[in-house]
Amino acid sequence: MDNSARQSLLDDIAAQVRDCSNCRLCEGRNLAVSGEGPADAPVMFIGEAPGAAEDRQGRPFVGPAGQLLNQLLLGAGLRRPEVFITNIVKCRPPQNREPRPEEITACREYLDGQIAILQPPLICLLGRPATQTLLDPTLAMGRAHGRLFEREGLSFMPIYHPAAALHNPNMRAPLEQDFAALATFLQDRKLTP
Ligand code: SF4
């Protein structure tokens, strides 16, 4: 499938997400946030859920954590428009609480559809909820972050969520180490754009 066909399928998912009412998160949202990025992105980033800024703009990672993500991407040799970014749920949970299992399940078809279309060389899981949803519900970030996991022909790397470093400055160093591991993966596979 060529890139424009894949982009068109991603646009179809975004249109479904915009009008979705498959779970109660639709009741409090302003805008659903399907995700964004090129269909041939070398890396797909999957976070937890939209926050206030994302809910207002309908775009992923545009708040303070997104600004930090952009900086960390540059450090790894990537520019934001070169990567695909989304979340495990596409609508903002009230007061930014963690998404509930039934919400994650209801939204999963969109994420699975995006992964199937993109078939990205690497999927970076930002934080515990994304890591436990995609890999293993018992996996602890302390053990998993910065490591590579192979599942069903896909490569996953859990990394700390940029928001962790906003809340706790001590998380900045491990976060930078995770992005260094990401940069090494891309260089080894000759995937840096
Ligand atoms: S979170 Fe997902 S499943 Fe729930 S309403 Fe939004 S798009 Fe639909």
Q: Is 163 near ligand 1, meaning CB less than 6 Å away?
A: no
Specify whether the CB–CB gap between 49 and 32 falls below 8 A.
no
Q: What pLDDT digit, counting tens, does each position of 59-74 carry?
A: 999 999 999 999 999 9
Classify domain 3-188 at the CATH topology level.
Answer: Uracil-DNA Glycosylase, subunit E (3.40.470)
Q: What pLDDT digit, counting tens, does each position of 26-61 carry?
A: 999 999 999 999 999 999 999 999 999 999 999 999
Q: Is 48 near ligand 1, meaning CB less than 6 Å away?
A: no
pLDDT at 70: 96
Q: Tell me which residue has its CA closest to atom 4 in ligand 1.
A: 23
Residue 183 has pLDDT above 70, yes or no: yes
Please, what is the average pLDDT of the chain?
95
Residue 192 has pLDDT above 80, yes or no: no
Query: How far apart are alpha carbons 182 and 192 in whole angstroms?
Result: 10
Nearby residues of 145 by Cβ (< 8 Å), 6 or more positions away: 158, 159, 160, 174, 178
Mean pLDDT in residue range 97-121? 97
For residue 158, give the 3-state DSSP assignment: strand
Q: Tell me which residue has its CA closest to atom 6 in ligand 1.
A: 91
Q: Which residues of 79-116 are buried (b: 16+ CB within 10 A; e: fewer)?
A: eeebbbbbbbbbbbbeeeeebeeebbebbeebbebbbe
Terminal alpha carbon distance of the chain:
21
pLDDT at 193: 63
CA of 59 from ligand 1 middle (Å) equals 15
Q: Is 33 near ligand 1, meaning CB less than 6 Å away?
A: no
pTM (two decimals): 0.96
Render 86-144 in DSSP notation, one character per residue. Answer: EESSSSPPGGGPPPPHHHHHHHHHHHHHHHHHH--SEEEEESHHHHHHHT-TT--HHHH
Q: Is 107 near ligand 1, meaning CB less than 6 Å away?
A: yes
Q: What pLDDT digit, counting tens, does each position of 75-106 carry?
A: 999 999 999 999 999 999 999 999 999 999 99
pLDDT at 110: 98
- As a whole-number percent, the residues of the chain with pLDDT over 90 amount to 94
CA of 50 from ligand 1 middle (Å) equals 11
Query: How far apart are alpha carbons 82 and 130 in whole angstroms?
Result: 21
Mean pLDDT in residue range 142-171? 94
pLDDT at 178: 95
